[in-house]
Chain A
Amino acid sequence: MPDKMQEEILDIVSMVVEKEKKQIPLDAHLIQEVGADSMMALEILAALEKKYRIVIPEEKLKEMTTVNRIIAMAKAARKK
């Protein structure tokens, strides 16, 4: 289950930042290392909310710096 979610989230990130999954290390900084921008973070957030039917407050945007952090955030929001 956790791996499935990791894959799904990586799919979303890959689609939004328009990079192949293997170019996105889970701990790489999305803006500084992968080439994403802040609007992409918002698109990822919106996609996560839709896919998992969760609500992520916009304050969390600043924390969405790596795929691993995004996964942790989505998991935490799902538990609520």
Chain B
Amino acid sequence: MENQELKGKVGIVTGASRGIGRAVALRLVKEGARVAFIYAKSDDMAQSLLKELKAAGSEGLSFKGDVRHYETCREFVDKVKELFGGLDFLVNNAGITRDRAFMMMEPSEWQEVIDTNLTGYFNMARSAIVTFLKQKSGNIVNISSVSGISGTSRQANYAASKAGIIGLTKALAKEVAGYGIRVNCVAPGYIETDMTASLKEDLKAKFTAAIPKGRFGKPEEVAAVVAFLLNERSNYLTGQVIKVDGGLHTSW
């Protein structure tokens, strides 16, 4: 059992019904935090997560909505503050892929990915920041991707959104550091989630061969780094991008 190092903290994880977001929500609750999450699609997955969160030690709070809509995000943040009595951290994680060869990519496929992955992060951070500024404390962790650092073919839309998140993180971190607010980025490499499950086997083998640790990462291994960034232990760390990729990408 993890130490209760986030006891008393209240926060939001977006896109928590599956994958990395789900692992993050669970990990944070195990460390004593109360977690609210927003999800777009699966009611069943959200319900089962609420059960898991409860079993892990805390009543969760779920909200169905689309982070592409600013008003939805505002409403969600207000709800969390009302029901949980505050807000200490935000983990922006909700993301989608619409992979396609660039010459075949539709403008709608570009837009959907940018709107969800990048504007969605803005919408949530913007909705939470005034609360953080007023209380002179707060913590934001943005989940980016190694794809946003080194690029991945057939992912021009996704890579652009994930690189944008890094710029957002760095600029905001500088702007609000003086107000006791930290903003950091986690850039996972290949992680075992639904997002990578659909990869063809030969492609998976090729990627695995390129990873120095010789395997895909687990969502829990990303969640552990998010928990560290939300912890007071990392108090002097802000505006950074931490790659969690088994050594895949080592230059900067």
Cβ–Cβ < 8 Å partners of A46 in chain B: 133-134
Q: Closest chain B residue to A47 by CB distance? A: B134
Summarize B's interface: helix, strand, loop or mixed: helix
Chain A positions within 8 Å of B133 at CB level: 39, 42, 46
Chain A min CB distance to B178 (Å): 9
| Contact digits for A35-54, partner B, Cβ 8 Å, 1 yes 0 no | 00001001001100100000
Please report the number of residue pairs spanning A and B whose Cβ atoms sit closer than 8 angstroms: 9
Residue B96 interfacial (CB < 8 Å): no
Interface bits B125-153 vs A (CB < 8 Å: 1, else 0): 00000100110000000000000000000
Chain B: interface size category: under 10
CB distance from A53 to the nearest CB of B (A): 14
A49 CA to B135 CA, complexed, in Å: 11
For the complex, give the distance between the alpha carbons of A42 and B132 in Å. Answer: 11
Q: Please, which residue of chain B has its CB at the minimum distance from the CB of A49? A: B134
For A42, what are the chain B residues with a Cβ–Cβ distance below 8 Å?
A: 130, 133-134
A58 interface residue (CB < 8 Å to B): yes
Docked Cα-Cα span, A58 to B130, in Å, equals 7
A residues less than 8 Å from B130 (CB atoms): 42, 58
Q: In the bound complex, how far is the Cα of B133 from the Cα of A42, in angstroms? A: 8
Q: How far is the CB of B209 from chain A (nearest CB, A)?
A: 50
> Whose C-beta in chain B lies nearest to the C-beta of A58?
B130
Chain B residues with CB under 8 A of A39:
133
A49 to B131, CA, bound (A): 12
Q: A78 vs B133: C-alpha distance in the bound complex, in angstroms?
A: 23
A12 to chain B, nearest CB (A): 14
CA distance A4 to B149 in the complex (A): 57
Shortest distance between the CB of A54 and any CB in chain B (Å) = 13
Residues of A close to B134: CB separation below 8 A: 42, 45-46, 49
CB distance from B229 to the nearest CB of A (A): 24
Shortest Cβ distance from residue A50 to the other chain B in the assembled complex, whole angstroms: 9
Minimal beta-carbon separation of A57 from chain B (angstroms): 10
Shortest Cβ gap from A61 to chain B (Å): 8
Q: How far is the CA of A46 from the CA of B131 in the complex (A)?
A: 10
A39-B130 Cα distance, complex, nearest whole Å: 10
Shortest C-beta distance, A18 to chain B (Å), equals 15
Tell me, in angstroms, the Cα distance from A45 to B134 when the chains sit together: 8
Residues in chain B near residue A45, CB distance under 8 A = 134
What are 9 A-B interface contacts by the 8 Å CB criterion?
A39-B133, A42-B130, A42-B133, A42-B134, A45-B134, A46-B133, A46-B134, A49-B134, A58-B130
Apart from A45-B134, A46-B133, what are 7 other A-B pairs with CB-CB below 8 Å?
A39-B133, A42-B130, A42-B133, A42-B134, A46-B134, A49-B134, A58-B130
User: Shortest 9 CB-CB distances between A and B: which pairs?
Assistant: A46-B134, A58-B130, A42-B133, A42-B134, A42-B130, A45-B134, A39-B133, A49-B134, A46-B133
